[in-house]
Amino acid sequence: MTQVSIPDRLAYLLVSSDGSASLVLCSLETRLVRGQTDLSEIVEYTEFVDNPAAVLANVLRERDLDSGRLGIEARRLSLTDAEFLRSELPSLELVALDEEIERSQSVKERHEIDSLGYAAQSTRASILEGAEAATIGTTERELCAQIMSRVMERGGIPTFVVFGSGPRSLETHSEPIDKELTEGEIWRIDAGARFDGVFNSDLARTGVVGPPQPRQTEVLQALRATQTAGFNVVEPGRPASEVFRAVEAEFDSQGLPFFMPHVGHGLGIGLHEAPMLQPANDTPLQAGMVLCIEPMVQLPDENECYHVEDLVEVTEDGIRNLSEPQDALIQIG
């Protein structure tokens, strides 16, 4: 939680090639982290008294790892701390290992997949129950409060809530406001929470206020067909980019405008993890990856945006759905 909310309160995990690991951690977190991990070595620092990078440098010296090559997440290491380490440990070479670390995180263990599946199903069920409890005239905020309180009762801590009804659905990341749901409007939610402290959910659904028009039902079905096209090409060995291309091609077949830079992503302790389902990513899919597949269509002339997002596990012979995809617009009122 702290790593998300207070990013300046640093933690460093050091892993040796023999598999042993040390965690440099703010002393305020020790009690909690001991209950969450089986790491044998936790090296505490006192916030504002110690420089966490200096504590890390000491650990490297004590473990005779202060020369040679140190793999780092260069996209996460700050320039400040990189320069500190270079000046303190001039014989140490920092080598960017971002892609290797991302790749190793992208294949999940069974218990991680189970937790991510529980998170996805809980979020899905909460959206349906919250919508069930709402009526025409409920505000965006009231609806989202109902949904997210159900997420919390199921053990999630909300991390984000994107919601828009009517023309507001077109804003990629609009948050709920004090606006009433009005008959005929499309509404869109994309929300997530952390479960068991670390496992994210990320799920999107599209609904309508009052009975849907036939045109609205058709758009939802067409969008769902693009998601299914994505599901259908997932299998171990296929490059991630093929999922992107399958979804893109189905947008074309369905006559829907396509603008997305990606059509989905991995999910885990981060909200967007590898593999990103984007056109330049040739990472081969592997069994044990989990993927959010989330086509979205913006129809500015109709003042509407439709979005569905579901979680699947990559298995030896295709996919396993970890959330049940949407079969119809969710009707309120």
> Contact between 276 and a copy of itself (CB under 8 A)?
yes
> Contact between 176 and a copy of itself (CB under 8 A)?
yes
Output 43 or 287, the one with its CB closest to a copy of itself: 43
Residue 269 has which token pair? Answer: 């302790």
Output 21 or 170, the one with its CB closest to a copy of itself: 170
Q: How far apart are CA 56 and CA 92, in angstroms?
A: 13
Identify the residue among 197, 211, 257, 284 touching a copy of itself (CB under 8 A). 197
Q: How far is the CB of 126 from a copy of itself (least distance, A)?
A: 10
> Contact between 97 and a copy of itself (CB under 8 A)?
no
> Contact between 35 and a copy of itself (CB under 8 A)?
yes
Paired with 30 in beta bridges are none
* Window 148-167: residues binding a copy of itself (CB under 8 A): 148-150, 152-155, 157-162
> Contact between 27 and a copy of itself (CB under 8 A)?
yes
Output 270 or 318, the one with its CB closest to a copy of itself: 270
> Contact between 74 and a copy of itself (CB under 8 A)?
yes
Other beta carbons within 10 Å of 142: 18
DSSP 5-58: H-TTS--EEEE-TTS-EEEEEEGGGHHHHHHH---SEEEEE-TTTS-HHHHHHH
Q: Which long-range contacts (CB under 8 A, 24 or more apart) does 318-324 make?
A: 318/234, 318/235, 319/231, 319/234, 321/231, 322/113, 322/116, 322/117, 322/120, 322/121, 322/290, 323/117, 323/120, 323/121, 323/123, 323/124, 323/203, 324/121, 324/124
Paired with 239 in beta bridges are 284
Q: How far is the CB of 315 from a copy of itself (least distance, A)?
A: 26
Are residues 237 and 318 in contact, defined by beta-carbon separation less than 8 angstroms? no
Identify the residue among 128, 272, 299, 321 touching a copy of itself (CB under 8 A). 272
Identify the residue among 278, 286, 315, 321 touching a copy of itself (CB under 8 A). 278
Are residues 310 and 291 in contact, defined by beta-carbon separation less than 8 angstroms? no
> Contact between 146 and a copy of itself (CB under 8 A)?
yes
**Cα angle for residues 145, 296, 281 (degrees, 5° grid):** 115
> Contact between 141 and a copy of itself (CB under 8 A)?
yes
> Contact between 46 and a copy of itself (CB under 8 A)?
yes
Name the residues that contact a copy of itself, by CB under 8 A.
1-2, 4-9, 27-29, 31-32, 35, 46-49, 72, 74-83, 94, 96, 98, 141-142, 144-146, 148-150, 152-155, 157-162, 170-178, 192, 197, 261-262, 271-272, 276, 278-281
